[in-house]
Amino acid sequence: MKFISGLKGIFKTPIYIFIISAFTLVWILILVNSFYSSVIFGLVVLVFGGSILYYAIILFLISFIKPIGELKKWLLFVIYVITILSTFVLNRLVFFVISEFFFIVLLTINQFFTAFFAFKFCMDSSIEVDNYLYKKEKSRILTRLIEFFVFYLLNLWFSLMILKFFSTTPTILLLVVIRILQILFWVNMSLIVIVILRLIVTKKFSAFIALFFLLTLFYTLYILIDYLYGTFFSSTSVDPTYVLISFVLDWFLFLYILGTVYSKAGFIQTKLKFLKLDTIALFLIIMKIYVQVSKIVPKIVAVDMQILQAGGLFVIFVFFNLLFGIYSILTHNRKKKNKSNQD
């Protein structure tokens, strides 16, 4: 996948290795603190995480002037020492009451990027599987029909399992889950109609759409568990399995976004001349660090707002599914046609 080559490009710069590794450590420490709720330990994590945040912000500002890779090591070290001192002085300004506006803004941007790249991962993965089966000329018809029906049936089965799981939760949560699955169902049906129409007109079958449905269902499940289920139950008990799965998925999406952006280095440098690759990468890192480190302080966003955030993330994700899903179906068929003509 292209995002892997993008990640290789990121990790060629030592400073990114340090920032991403340090942030991952902070993220893990935040999860550990969620189990023990130690004030002293929380303050230590806050200072450490805050220093990484300020460090990324300063490098972000420098990136407008000079590539980060050209900075001397001693200068990078001095900047980090300054950021540690700044954290002690400015942590209340950034992470506490008057920072609610910054939190909501960065969280919204984070949701937008997360939803888009989650959609992109689901679509790219399903298309890659379908392309692999399409190359097998002797068996492509049978294998792609099996691909479509098996993944479609799995999608229905997992939907029923999700409903069964949430049927034991509070009524308000169950109703939200039912409404979300209903929306997802009608979006999928809309895409199925497009697939059928394209099949009739062009004789090309977008078998990948069933796997796409299944992957988007998994991401929807992630939204339900990470935002809604966590909102209702994390205050009374912290389930290690829930925490671990949430962390792994969120961390993977974070790296996927960074890798995908870096894999588009040529496009960014050509089309977006006013922005450097370092500037975009550091902005994405700042956005994620702030949202995660803010979790170590007392909640600055009400439960109703958290539910609204989950709904917003789902709406954005559904928008990408419907709009770009239709576009991807048409484009994928066209590519196949062009390829067959060349053969």
| pLDDT beyond 60 at 15 | yes
What is the rounded distance in angstroms from the CA atom of residue 156 to the CA atom of residue 31?
Answer: 33
Span 20-75, pLDDT tens digits: 898 888 888 877 877 776 778 877 887 788 788 888 888 888 888 888 878 888 88
Token digits for 267?
A: 């496009």
DSSP at 99: G
Q: Does the model's pTM come out above 0.75? A: no
Largest CA distance in the chain: 68
Locate the domains of the chain by residue range.
2-342
Span 109-128, pLDDT tens digits: 777 777 787 888 888 889 88
Which among 210, 206, 86, 117 has a CA at the least distance from the CA of 157? 210
| pLDDT beyond 70 at 187 | yes
Which among 32, 28, 22, 31 has a CA at the least distance from the CA of 55? 22
**What does the pLDDT read at residue 192?**
92
